């Protein structure tokens, strides 16, 4: 076992210029607002989604790319050097990735909402270039930091899944104009599974092995247990992908069962970290993370039911909603509640200025209100999708939009409280 709190020793010397991670966090906060605004404005498109372009697809990619991928990029660029002591090869490249990825995501979402194929092609290739730079930079850090076995194993596999998900996404965009895919629906399903469980899912599991013990000041997950979680989840992903690709429901169900075992072992380790850590009160952040784990288990159960033909079309839509909105978005919001104040405080301290108090950076009242609105949004939109009813979707979208605005004000508050301090010297740049 390791004690992740030890990574704080010398962490300030490994900080990037705060404008690098925070540009990605700011983009995630803005796309979070757009996500719920699209759901509130176009509830019929969400409740009766039957595939194809339109506001529902745009909202989904506002989440997957605009929120999840953008936040993952910002967190990985900064937290990996802090956790491993291995600097990025080039911070200029980390900046350049944002120049392609953030505008590309906006153009892609615009094109999906309107069915504008040239905009989707332009945005899609911008996103691919940004994610490609991200993958190269992060893979190089993880490869040099192979001693951090959990991070390296989960992270490198997640990046491999990212490459596959991006390739499938570009193929779907090009197919919209040229129609060369034999089974477009199967390709779309593979894109969702590889992107959701392969890239974001494995990345979330890998980061959890460091972040949850760090937040709780607990001993890390034993290496053998981490290896077992990785093996079960990766095997489940590969078997599930094979089942979907071949159209074999029994094989896909076997993948879901294997993933379920891996998730159960992972959650046992996370529960032990939270129970044995020296820091017992993690506030709203812990509530969101625990809720996200509940959604993860539920999504696997629903996915298994869909694989064996228990649910009709709405079961598949609920599965997608539970994975991306219930599990990944809720987990991300819980983690960012601690990462953004943590980085803000370290940057202020490094600049030789007394950092704001934790209660200033993360006021509990604001975060509790957001959590309530987020839970209400998930309940209403989930019910609307299951019942094919537009009204609950609209009400849920409004609740989510209000919550997203509060969460964005939380992020802006952190930046405001550290704004005006002397800039952080960049010591990580190498020729």
CB 208 within 8 A of CB 270: yes
Give residue-wise pLDDT tens across range 8-39: 555 556 677 888 999 999 999 999 999 999 99
In a domain, 369, yes or no: yes
CA–CA separation, 163 and 55 (whole Å): 26
CA–CA separation, 240 and 256 (whole Å): 6
Residue 250 is part of which domain span?
A: 11-418
End-to-end Cα distance, the chain: 36
In a domain, 427, yes or no: no
CA–CA separation, 195 and 239 (whole Å): 15
C-alpha closest to that of 72 among 270, 204, 212, 234: 204
CA–CA separation, 34 and 51 (whole Å): 20
Give residue-wise pLDDT tens across range 363-396: 788 899 999 999 999 999 999 999 999 999 999 9
pLDDT of 430: 40
In a domain, 2, yes or no: no
Residue 148: C-alpha distances to residues 131, 141, 144, 156 (Å)? 23, 11, 9, 12
Q: Which residues of 348-383 are buried (b: 16+ CB within 10 A; e: fewer)?
A: bebbeeebbeeeebbeeeebebbbebbbbbbebbbb
Please name the helix (run of DSSP H) or strand (run of DSSP E) that holds residue 139, with its range, or none.
Answer: helix 117-144
DSSP label at 52? S
CA–CA separation, 225 and 209 (whole Å): 11
* Tally of residues, the chain: 431
CA–CA separation, 224 and 234 (whole Å): 15
How many CB atoms are closer than 10 A to CB 92?
A: 12
DSSP label at 356? P
Please state the separation of Cα 352 from the chain's center in Å: 33
CB 244 within 8 A of CB 186: yes
Taking the CA of residue 195 as centre, how many other CA atoms within 13 Å lie in the half-sphere pointing to its CB? 22
Number of domains in the chain: 1
Neighbouring residues of 111: CB distance < 8 A, sequence distance ≥ 6: 117, 118, 119, 120, 121, 122, 123
pLDDT of 182: 80
In a domain, 179, yes or no: yes
- Residue 70 is part of a domain; what is its CATH number? 1.20.210.10
Give residue-wise pLDDT tens across range 290-300: 999 999 999 99
Rounded to the nearest 10 degrees, how much is the dihedral formed by the CA atoms of 134, 130, 209, 238?
Answer: -100
In a domain, 428, yes or no: no
CA–CA separation, 67 and 94 (whole Å): 17
DSSP label at 355? P
List of the chain residues with pLDDT < 50? 1-3, 422-431
CA–CA separation, 329 and 252 (whole Å): 24
pLDDT of 6: 52
In a domain, 175, yes or no: yes
CB 138 within 8 A of CB 94: no
pLDDT of 3: 46
In a domain, 193, yes or no: yes
Work out the widest C-alpha separation in the chain, in whole angstroms: 61
CA–CA separation, 191 and 297 (whole Å): 21
Report helix, strand or coil for 308.
coil
């Amino acid at each position: 076992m390791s004690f992740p709190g030890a990574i704080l020793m010398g962490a300030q010397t490994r900080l990037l210029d705060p404008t690098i991670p925070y540009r990605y966090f700011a983009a995630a906060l803005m796309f979070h607002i757009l996500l719920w605004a699209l759901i509130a404005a176009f509830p019929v498109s969400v409740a009766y989604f039957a595939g194809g372009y339109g506001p529902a697809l745009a909202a989904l990619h506002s989440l997957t790319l605009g929120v999840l991928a953008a936040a993952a990029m910002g967190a990985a660029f900064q937290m990996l050097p802090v956790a491993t002591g291995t600097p990025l090869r080039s911070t200029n490249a980390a900046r350049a990735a944002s120049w392609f990825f953030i505008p590309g995501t906006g153009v892609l979402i615009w094109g999906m909402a309107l069915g504008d194929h040239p905009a989707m092609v332009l945005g899609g290739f911008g996103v691919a270039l940004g994610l490609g730079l991200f993958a190269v930079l992060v893979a190089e850090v993880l490869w040099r930091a192979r001693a951090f076995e959990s991070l390296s194993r989960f992270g490198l596999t997640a990046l491999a899944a990212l490459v596959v998900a991006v390739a499938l996404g570009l193929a779907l965009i090009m197919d919209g104009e040229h129609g060369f895919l034999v089974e477009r629906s199967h390709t779309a399903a593979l894109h969702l599974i590889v992107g959701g469980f392969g890239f974001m899912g494995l990345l979330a599991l890998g980061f959890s092995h460091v972040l949850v013990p760090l937040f709780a000041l607990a001993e890390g997950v034993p290496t053998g247990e981490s290896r077992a979680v990785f093996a079960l989840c990766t095997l489940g992903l590969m078997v599930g992908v094979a089942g979907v690709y071949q159209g074999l429901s029994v094989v896909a169900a076997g993948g879901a069962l294997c993933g379920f075992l891996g998730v159960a072992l992972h959650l046992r380790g996370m529960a032990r970290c939270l129970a044995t850590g020296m820091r017992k009160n993690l506030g709203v952040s812990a509530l969101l993370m625990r809720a996200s784990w509940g959604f993860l288990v539920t999504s696997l159960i629903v996915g298994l039911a869909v694989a064996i033909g228990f649910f009709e079309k709405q079961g598949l839509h609920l599965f997608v909603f539970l994975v991306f909105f219930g599990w990944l978005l809720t987990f991300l919001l819980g983690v960012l509640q601690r990462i953004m104040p943590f980085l803000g405080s370290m940057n202020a301290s490094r600049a030789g200025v007394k950092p704001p108090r934790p209660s200033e950076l993360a006021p509990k009242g604001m975060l509790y209100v957001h959590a309530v609105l987020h839970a209400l949004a998930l309940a209403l939109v989930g019910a609307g999708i299951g019942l094919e009813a537009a009204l609950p979707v609209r009400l849920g979208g409004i609740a989510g939009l209000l919550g997203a605005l509060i969460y964005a004000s939380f992020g802006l508050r952190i930046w405001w409280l550290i704004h005006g301090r002397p800039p952080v010297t960049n010591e990580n740049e190498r020729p």
